[in-house]
């Protein structure tokens, strides 16, 4: 039973958090043809990482107005709160806004309204991490960093890169991360999901990040795990996503516990919950039941998330004060 635990998640893609029902609802608003996007049970249809990314882009394209995005963050953050979360960060993407015909400003304002409305309704605190998409290429990632640096917003507190890790090298994004870092944003990058330990090492060498999205495959290299422990790098682990995308056969095979026991600062998140039949509550539940994590270990994951959150210090202090000691 994990329902009573306070939770937090650092790694969820806002477009990837849209449920099939919401996508159908907003798609109908705009008369979007969604043929082939869903399977016979009404879930998103995909079968591997590439087809997942394609389905994700198609579903994202139904969101076209600030109100659509407000509805998306309101639904997501209210759902988080209902599962016992007190804090969440979502990855946002100026490229997806552009593809939907929205300016970055209108996109962020719509998303921010949903976050504010969810906080007013439930008390949950939320922030946004602007991302570049790796498979759109380094030029687009640079534009994403310049956009977020030139148009600051109080609820956009981080910068990162998501997308297909099998493409490009972290050094290609070094300028983007430098610009975002100089703008005062927290930095994280997806690595060690579809790339091996060398991908994590390259990200640490070139990007100055304090957190790694996934990073799970660091477990294949003991020296790298030692480095992650020594440098206090926080891992945004997403066990349900890793199993759904075929990295591990089952949660029982996931290295969460081994990374934790090695001394790494581990956290748990749902990544793209409806695609992976996940949620923050499901992730905590799987770690409890399938990996035998104690309530104390799960509370520590929440604490680590708040410690590593991209928030101002008064907000961090307020959130930490809510956690069990
Ligand atoms: N974008 C959305 N979900 C992702 C994932 N699991 N890995 C990389 N990019 C993503
Ligand atoms: Zn992710």
Number of structural domains found in the chain: 1
**Whose Cα sits closest to atom 1 in ligand 1?**
163
Contact status, residue 20 vs residue 40, Cβ threshold 8 Å: no
CATH of the domain at 255: 3.20.20.140
Does 15 reside within a domain? yes
Does 172 reside within a domain? yes
Maximum separation of any 2 CA atoms in the chain, in Å: 53
Q: What is the pLDDT of residue 195?
A: 97
Q: Which atom of ligand 1 is nearest to the CA of 15?
A: 2
Q: State pLDDT tens for residues 31-56.
A: 999 999 999 999 999 999 999 999 99
Round to whole Å and give the CA distance between 39 and 41: 5
Which residues constitute the domain of residue 250? 7-320
Does 223 reside within a domain? yes
> In Å, how far are 31, 132, 162, 237, 261 from 109, measured between CA atoms?
24, 19, 22, 29, 41
**Whose Cα sits closest to atom 9 in ligand 1?**
163
Name which of 271, 261, 322, 270 is nearest 292 in CA terms. Answer: 261
Does 170 reside within a domain? yes
pLDDT-derived band at 16, boundaries 50, 70, 90:
very high
Least distant ligand from the CA of 93? 1
With pLDDT > 90 as the criterion, what percentage of the chain qualifies?
A: 99
Does 325 reside within a domain? no
Is the pLDDT reported for residue 283 higher than 90? yes
* Mean local confidence (pLDDT), 143-158: 98
Q: Which atom of ligand 1 is nearest to the CA of 190?
A: 8
Does 90 reside within a domain? yes
Does 1 reside within a domain? no
Is the pLDDT reported for residue 325 higher than 90? no
Q: Is 184 exposed, middle or buried (0-12, 13-18, 19+ CB in 10 A)?
A: exposed
DSSP-derived 3-state class of residue 266: strand
Contact status, residue 225 vs residue 219, Cβ threshold 8 Å: yes
| Pocket of ligand 1, beta carbon within 6 A | 13, 16, 56, 162-163, 190, 193, 241, 271-272
Least distant ligand from the CA of 57? 1
Q: Which two tokens stand for residue 254?
A: 């996931």
Q: Is 249 exposed, middle or buried (0-12, 13-18, 19+ CB in 10 A)?
A: exposed
Does 11 reside within a domain? yes
């Amino acid at each position: 039973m994990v329902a009573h635990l306070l939770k937090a998640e650092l790694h969820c893609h806002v477009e990837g958090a849209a449920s099939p029902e919401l996508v159908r609802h907003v798609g109908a608003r705009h008369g979007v043809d969604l043929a082939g996007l869903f399977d016979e049970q009404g879930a998103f249809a995909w079968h591997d990482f590439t087809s997942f990314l394609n389905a994700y882009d198609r579903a994202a394209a139904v969101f076209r107005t600030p109100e659509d995005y407000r509805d998306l963050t309101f639904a997501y953050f209210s759902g988080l709160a209902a599962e016992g979360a007190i804090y969440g960060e979502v990855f946002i993407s100026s490229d997806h806004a552009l593809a939907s015909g929205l300016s970055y400003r209108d996109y962020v304002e719509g998303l921010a309204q949903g976050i504010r409305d969810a906080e007013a309704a439930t008390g949950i605190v939320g922030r946004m991490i602007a991302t570049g998409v790796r498979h759109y290429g380094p030029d687009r990632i640079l534009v994403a960093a310049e956009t977020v640096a030139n148009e600051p917003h109080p609820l956009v507190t981080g910068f990162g890169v998501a997308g297909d890790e099998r493409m490009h090298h972290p050094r290609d994004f070094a300028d983007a991360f430098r610009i975002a870092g100089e703008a005062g944003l927290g930095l994280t990058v997806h690595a060690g999901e579809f790339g091996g330990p060398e991908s994590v090492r390259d990200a640490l060498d070139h990007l100055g990040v304090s957190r790694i999205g996934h990073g799970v495959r660091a477990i294949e290299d003991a020296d790298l795990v030692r480095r992650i422990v020594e440098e206090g790098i926080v891992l945004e682990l997403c066990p349900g996503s890793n199993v759904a995308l075929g990295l591990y056969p089952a949660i029982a095979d996931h290295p969460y516990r081994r990374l934790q026991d090695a001394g790494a600062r581990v956290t748990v998140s749902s990544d793209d919950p409806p695609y992976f039949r996940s949620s923050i509550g499901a992730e905590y539940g799987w770690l409890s039941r399938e990996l035998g994590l104690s309530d104390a270990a799960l509370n520590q994951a929440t604490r680590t998330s708040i410690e590593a959150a991209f928030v101002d210090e008064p907000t961090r202090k307020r959130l930490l004060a809510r956690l069990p000691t």
